[in-house]
Structure 1
């Protein structure tokens, strides 16, 4: 008996198909390139020469390394510098490759390679035009200052307080266990965060600490095109301070005064500069680390002494000091790349306003939804600020069966989920988070009312219908009483045995949690059905029953969807844009489409009617 096996492409056949596809693409390449005046340099490597004239300047380019998927852009190399051009050019890397396109801002369609290649060639032309346009060079420098500030060392800015210090230390890298060195600018009074940061960065030993001087640009750094391409970045203190004096004289005067005051006690200084963006907000930083000679220190001491009232010694004029600072009286000069790692920046970078900071948030239930929600809220500022607090409530302990979809792992087995979640979050992040953990039930009305008066929002992540009904009933009672309630309730749960997630905000203005159910022929039914007419849920979407251990199998991603709803609705609530207060998402064809909306109260609702 002959067995009929399915036909499979052999490895050889697959390779041949790939070669045919590539050959077809490169024919398109050649056609487009030649039509634009390029010539084939190397048919084997598929590269093209392009002599292109832009504003009376001829550039000689080579374009190669084409990728049919356009995941990687073709490499464009400047074969030689045009006559009378400096060695450094904007948009040209040290290896003379040209940075001509931000791939993240455009989609190049691999099914239309001719159009994609045309787009690339146009982008190259636009970039070359910028290289020869003095105004464009200056504007590029202003907008992309960081790109031209080629740093010697990395530095992380942990604090923006007025009095900070800088630490240079050796660290062990996370994966290959090599060692490297980096700078940290920190607030000496925030010892807890500093230690956490150093521990997470693999601190080995301290090399040195130096004082920090902070100055702020009032507008974006300026530099003429000729200097951008000729003398930037500054290679020593003299070039740097002369630039500052020429184009930002007020700032250089402020720096000169601060350096005199600081150099009295230390020859080494780290100077931190804050740079505003086009909108005028201070959004980026850079720094220099210098070590002055004793001549500067002697001058600084005389200058500071001469400015004290009642002193009769000879005045040291600002011009004298400025002249000295314009000389290269340093033994070290290093440029630093500064990354903002301050708590405010990390927590608010992805939000338009600090809307979560200083809010009092309670989460009841630290299971898979509650713990994940706590993690998501901490990342946007929960537990931060003068009055900010995140209160966690759960009386259960973590079991091995929970690990498959819980935020917590093996090290927390047997621990109360609320306390373990608190420990996990405070250990994971370096900033200070005000979290309280409570391994108790909120089972009495008095306990609930205390919670209500102490928080701005209560998130019910238990997914227990009985408990949620208890909260809903007593919340509406509190609203109808003489109690001064300014708190709202946010419910989030997994429904349809893992095939849907839902969330509901109750701020007393629309329907309550009980309004999600309606009476149909004497039986309580879902107001918004979870099963389409004639549809069945798949076999895997069923509860597994056992005494005290019943559970519904679904993946962690479902819990993340519910937690994502809760994070988004918390943001919307504090941003005073809470609509729609009811939100729904289905994950299977059997789940009917349900519009997210503000649900109207049901007539005769026993809770809010």
Structure 2
């Protein structure tokens, strides 16, 4: 063995491994700050004699030093794929979502990509859990802008996304609820963070009402959606009693939004699926859904790091249809029918 080319402690470790065992092939793992390295040492066939392997095993280290070519040394580099490394490597000084109980409502166009963003940010790792909720099935019309592909057709979106993410990141604790969250709202209070990515105003209002009624025994709720034909992405974190709730963004159901992103002459275009019985849909590129997912995930990460940053954020993606509005922490509105009369 060439001691000069080996790690300082490798040679001694290999010699000790041979001395305390009966085999002629040994593995040593070297743990260093920059990785894991493995050394394989194998006694050449010509030296596998009873004299060497049995009678002189206690002095095998000294013996091997004087036998050129007696041991074949091979080196290997280990690639770290443990959850701590995977989910912390790209975070810099930020805390990831590991250890948190996060529930995502809506695994559609935005929610599907958001589920992946959350998982890659550590949701479901370190003793935490990521729960996905959706009552809809994946259809052929969804394939052009959804995380899931044709193998998941006719499967529930929450179940499909959970299976897909578990296959990609098997050490995450990801579960799914393939029905409306309104069928079992008790699960909401057991979370650290709730995210509503459905873009369905009626459902968002209902969840907002549950949150306000149960304060302070209710987790913060993060809402995210796309405006118009994906002209702008919006994310809004609620939960602070002194700041706006979801209903504060539009006090009157048919009224003007508090933050009117769409230009006055902009109209929402709808498309019609060719399949019989399919509903109208709002066309927009898949890139808009991915941007919205990223914006929502950013606020979730800020929450995990102490809640800094603005609670209401938007990204204008089509400047012909939408304007840019500064991010802010909107105050509660006294005449809000949801939170205005609550002290």
Shorter-chain TM-score: what band?
A: 0.7 to 0.9
Q: Which moved more, 1:330-339 or 1:578-587?
A: 330-339
DSSP 3-state at the match of 1:377 = helix
1:300 & 1:457 partners in 2: Cα distance? Answer: 61
C-alpha RMSD of matched pairs (Å): 2.9
- What's the TM-score once normalised by structure 2's chain length? 0.85
Check the 8 A contact 1:296/1:324 in 2, yes or no: no
1:372 & 1:523 partners in 2: Cα distance? Answer: 30
Distance 1:356 1:265, change over 3 A: farther
Q: Deviations over 1:107-130 (max 9, x none)?
A: xxxxxxxxxxxxxxxxxxxxxxxx
Residue correspondence of structure 1 range 276-425 to structure 2 within 5 A: 282-293=33-44, 322-327=61-66, 328=68, 330-352=70-92, 355-385=96-126, 387-425=127-165
1:418 & 1:491 partners in 2: Cα distance? Answer: 18
1:531 & 1:490 partners in 2: Cα distance? Answer: 22
Report the Cα offset of residue 321 of structure 1. 5.4
Check the 8 A contact 1:268/1:289 in 2, yes or no: yes
Distance 1:442 1:324, change over 3 A: same
- Asked if 1:502 corresponds to 2:220, the answer is no
1:536 & 1:297 partners in 2: Cα distance? Answer: 92
Residue correspondence of structure 1 range 17-32 to structure 2 within 5 A: none
Q: Deviations over 1:6-43 (max 9, x none)?
A: xxxxxxxxxxxxxxxxxxxxxxxxxxxxxxxxxxxxxx
1:297 & 1:458 partners in 2: Cα distance? Answer: 67
Question: Paired residue for 1:479, among 211, 215, 219?
Answer: 215
- Asked if 1:426 corresponds to 2:147, the answer is no
DSSP 3-state at the match of 1:504 = strand
1:497 & 1:267 partners in 2: Cα distance? Answer: 68
1:243 & 1:296 partners in 2: Cα distance? Answer: 27
Q: Which moved more, 1:288-297 or 1:403-412?
A: 288-297
Alignment partner, residue 454 of structure 1: 190
Question: Paired residue for 1:257, among 9, 13, 16?
Answer: 16
Alignment partner, residue 226 of structure 1: none
2:265 & 2:70 partners in 1: Cα distance? Answer: 78
Alignment partner, residue 27 of structure 2: 270
Distance 1:296 1:468, change over 3 A: farther
1:303 & 1:506 partners in 2: Cα distance? Answer: 73
DSSP 3-state at the match of 1:358 = coil
Alignment partner, residue 441 of structure 1: 180
Q: Unaligned regions of 5+ residues in structure 2, if any?
A: none
Distance 1:343 1:300, change over 3 A: farther
2:201 & 2:87 partners in 1: Cα distance? Answer: 33
- Asked if 1:543 corresponds to 2:270, the answer is yes
Give the 4+ runs in structure 1 shifted more than 6 A.
Answer: 295-304, 545-548
Number of equivalences: 331
Distance 1:380 1:581, change over 3 A: same
Report the Cα offset of residue 564 of structure 1. 0.6
1:440 & 1:397 partners in 2: Cα distance? Answer: 10
Alignment partner, residue 27 of structure 1: none
Distance 1:252 1:416, change over 3 A: same
Check the 8 A contact 2:101/2:124 in 1, yes or no: yes
2:304 & 2:60 partners in 1: Cα distance? Answer: 53
Q: Deviations over 1:328-379 (max 9, x none)?
A: 4644322324322333322221124663222211111110111111112212
2:153 & 2:101 partners in 1: Cα distance? Answer: 28
Check the 8 A contact 2:193/2:220 in 1, yes or no: yes
Q: Deviations over 1:194-246 (max 9, x none)?
A: xxxxxxxxxxxxxxxxxxxxxxxxxxxxxxxxxxxxxxxxxxxx22x34557x
Report the Cα offset of residue 303 of structure 1. 8.7
2:159 & 2:86 partners in 1: Cα distance? Answer: 25
Q: Deviations over 1:264-291 (max 9, x none)?
A: 143222333222xxxxxx2323333221
DSSP 3-state at the match of 1:269 = strand
Q: Deviations over 1:378-431 (max 9, x none)?
A: 12222223x3211111111111111110111112111111111122222234x3
Q: Which has the higher contact order (CA 8 A, sep 6+)?
A: 2
Q: Could you say which structure has the larger radius of gyration? A: 1
